Amino acid sequence: MTDISRFTLPSGQQMAYRFAPGALPAVVFLPGYMSDMEGGKAQATLQWAKAQGRACLLLDYTGCGLSDGAFADGSLSQWRDEVAALIDHLELASVQLVGSSMGGWLMLLIVEKLGDRAKAMVGLAPAPDFTEWGFSQSQRIELAAGRTIFEDNPYGPEPTPTHARFWSDGERHKRLGAEIAFDGPVRLLHGQADPDVPWEVSLKLARALRSADVQVHLIKDGDHRLSRDQDIALLLRELAGLHEG
């Protein structure tokens, strides 16, 4: 197991990460909402990269996992800047971003920060703009008024919070309504049995991307997590194909 390292952010908070050195571009895994680098997909990506001699970076956003901070203080803007700062700190000249769920939205923002250092993207049930389509009108009214909302959590015992800070920041970072200026290869994997993020979101993202090299893989019986052995095998095949290409 690659040891945990800690990066001190300009805020003074420490961000936990695992980094395996190797050939570039480095594979950078971006977890989903309230997720961390100990998840099955992230760990499988790290083990695959090490076996291939590829550099790989796993990380916990502040307020998540082993990093400092409170989740209620997090936002897409903050996590984008943290990840970009960590990539700079590690002096990674080129990266391939893998974004799971919310991480698939965050990777679009990070690509804008990294410019031509971002060589490819892989989205796993990517959820860009979910502040737009993921909430009812009554929930949006509550969030706009500065109140936290809570929803049933099918993946754990505690309800899932959405904080007004996160929601209002997300509203400023919606990307599906205009062209996304990225020209590298993009692979989008989405389960058609996903109860959380409609698979049509991946089709909208594919249309918005400027790149001509975009492929969408729909898994008919795939759920939101895409953590089954066959789902992870598909992810690793796509990563291998990007490297070979």
Active site residues: 101, 194, 224
For the chain, give percent helix, strand, coil, nearest 5: 35, 25, 40
Task: Tell me which H or E stretch contains 160.
Answer: strand 160-162
The β-bridge relationship of strands 14-20 and 54-59 is antiparallel
Residue 113: C-alpha distances to residues 53, 80, 108, 181 (Å) = 26, 8, 9, 12
Closest by alpha carbon to 6, among 59, 69, 64?
A: 59
Distance (Å, whole) CA 154 – CA 151: 9
Q: Which of 120, 130, 116, 97 lies closest to 202 in space, CA to CA?
A: 130
Q: Are 87 and 28 in contact (CB under 8 A)?
A: yes
What is the spatial distance between Cα 124 and Cα 126, in angstroms, rounded to a whole number? 5
Output the CA torsion sign for 88, 92, 95, 97.
negative
Quote the CA–CA distance of 214 and 233 in Å, as a whole number.
19
**Distance between CA atoms of 47 and 110, rounded to whole angstroms?**
24
